Structure 1
Amino acid sequence: MRASEVAYKPVGLALGAVSGMIAAAAFKQVWKIGEGEGDAPSATDEDRSWKQILIAAALQGAIFALVKAAVDRSGAMATRRVTGTWPG
């Protein structure tokens, strides 16, 4: 294992936690704007339609994937700037 990979491990873990918090906040805001409601439906919410639940799940997954990719890429670029090698 290269030094850049070892150095990136704790950074990657921290970035993962941060990206989760960012994605959760972003999803909450997007849902509020799109539906005009405060809370997104959960899968077991019997008062919501299948359509609402599946749209919420798809949107949440897309937002989490986008934020995670952006944060991971930024972390890898920062690691390369500091160590001179790409974490792999």
Structure 2
Amino acid sequence: MNKKVLVFYRLRTGGSKSPGIITAGILLPGVTGRKLKWWMGLLVGITVSSAIEISQLWLCRGLFEFDDIIHNSLGCMLGCLLGNKLLIWK
């Protein structure tokens, strides 16, 4: 692997979008007003993360990486489950 690519990859992996996606997952049950199943959070995570990654590819800004889609989707699902637990339901 080229040294410049390796340095860029190490710098790139430090700036993850996962905290923002987890936060969106936490807010998701509150926005919809009901508890959501785990697969709904995963589906929203896949959709949002895919849109972000495709826009990065299309606009030539950043890297398109499948592992980002996987990690962000799992983060949104976990955030959704956490949001279900944190909200007080009537």
TM range (shorter): 0.3 to 0.5
User: TM-score, normalising length from structure 1?
Assistant: 0.44
The structure whose Rg is larger is 1
